[in-house]
Amino acid sequence: MKALPYQAKAVIGRREMVTLPELGLTLCCKADTGARTSALHAEEIETYEEDDHVWVSFVTRGGGPSSPAHPVRLHLHDRRKVTSSNGQAQWRFVIRTNLQLGELAFPVELTLADRSNLRHPMLLGRRAMRRLLVAPGAAFLHGEP
């Protein structure tokens, strides 16, 4: 067996509870090694300029469509073309924020997408999992929901 090219910071399960402290959210996310970029559920997305910066405001829900709306306002980091698993490409807004996963804390880029018809409001992609190993048969290794 070939050795890993890095020392893994942690092993995570296919689903984990994460906290986005700047957004005031704790939610369940799905680890997806097939996705390059992480995604966060967002509705009512609007951009605007203020104080020479571009901002994005949106509403997210931490626990599915029936959970309370959580309004968010952050600097817009980027806009990227993302190809979904079904092959459709679309432009998405990107935010940067800090993510806390158990004892780990690191910055993450999140594309904003309507995930209301999906089970998890957040998807953790490969870029965010650079130094993590995924145990697909396990879940919530860093804290129960």
Q: What is the mean pLDDT of residues 43-60?
A: 93
Q: What is the mean pLDDT of residues 50-56?
A: 91
Q: Are β-strands 132-135 and 43-50 bridged in parallel, bridged antiparallel, or unpaired?
A: unpaired
> What's the CATH code of the domain at 59?
2.40.70.10
Domain membership of residue 140 (yes or no) is no
Domain membership of residue 59 (yes or no) is yes
Domain membership of residue 144 (yes or no) is no
Domain membership of residue 145 (yes or no) is no
Domain membership of residue 4 (yes or no) is no
Q: Residues 4-37: pLDDT tens digits?
A: 787 888 999 999 999 999 999 999 999 999 999 9
Q: What are phi and psi of 77, to 5 degrees?
A: -90, -40
Contact 127, 38 (CB under 8 A): yes
Question: Which pLDDT score is estimated for 74?
Answer: 94
Domain membership of residue 127 (yes or no) is yes
Helices and strands (H, E) in the chain, number of each type: 0, 12
- Give the pair of three-digit tokens for residue 51: 């104080």
Beta bridge pairs of residue 132: 10
Question: Which pLDDT score is estimated for 22?
Answer: 94
Q: Residues 66-117: pLDDT tens digits?
A: 678 889 999 999 999 998 778 889 999 999 999 999 999 999 999 999 998 8
Domain membership of residue 123 (yes or no) is yes
Strand ranges inside 78-124, DSSP E: 78-83, 89-101, 104-113, 122-124
Contact 122, 40 (CB under 8 A): yes
Domain ranges, residue 49 = 10-135
Q: Residues 126-135: pLDDT tens digits?
A: 999 988 999 9
Domain membership of residue 141 (yes or no) is no
Q: How far apart (Å, rounded) are the C-alpha atoms in residues 139 and 63?
A: 17
Question: Which pLDDT score is estimated for 3?
Answer: 82
Contact 18, 30 (CB under 8 A): no
In this model, does residue 65 exceed pLDDT 70? no
Provide the number of structural domains found in the chain.
1
Q: Is 124 exposed, middle or buried (0-12, 13-18, 19+ CB in 10 A)?
A: buried
